[in-house]
Structure 1
Amino acid sequence: MIKDRLCTKRALVVLDDVSEFEQLNALCGNRNGIGPGSIIIITTRDARLLDILGVDYIYEAEELNACESLELFNWHAFREASPTEGFLSLSEDVVYYCGGLPLALEVLGSYLFKRTKHEWHSVLSKLKKIPNDQIHDKLKISFDGLRDHMEKDIFLDVSCFFIGKDRAYVTEILNGCGLHADIGLTVLIERSLIKVENNNKLRMHSLLRDMGREIVRESSPEEPEKRSRLWCHEDVVDVLTDHNGTKAIEGLVMKLQMTSCVCFDTSAFEKMKRLRLLQLEHVQLNGDYECFPKHLRWLSWQGFPLKYTPENFYQKNLVAMDFKHIDRGTEDPKSQSFQVLEKHPGLFKLTEPRKAHYEGLSKFV
Structure 2
Amino acid sequence: MPADRITVVGVNPDGWHGLSAAARQAVESAEVLMGSVRQLELIPQQQAVRVPWPSPLSEALPRLLAEHQGKRLCVLASGDPTFHGIGTTLVRLLGVDAVHVIPQPSSASLACARLGWPQDQVQVVSLVSTPAERLHPHLQPGRRLLVLSRGAQTPLEVAQLLVARGYGSSQFTVLEQLTGPAERVRTATAADWCGDVDPLNVIAVRCPADAPVVSTSPGLPDDVYESDGQLTKREVRAVTLSRLAPVPGQLLWDVGGGAGSIAIEWSRHHPTCRAIAVERDDVRAKRLERNASALGAAVRVVEGTAPAALAELEPPDAVFIGGGATAEGMFDACWNALKPGGRLVANGVTLETEVLIAQWYKAVGGDLVRLDVQRASAVGGMTGWRPAMPVTIWSVTK
Considering the TM-score relative to the shorter chain, is it more than 0.5? no
TM-score, structure 2 as length reference: 0.29
Greater share of strand: 2
TM-score, structure 1 as length reference: 0.31
Q: Which has the higher contact order (CA 8 A, sep 6+)?
A: 2
Greater share of helix: 1
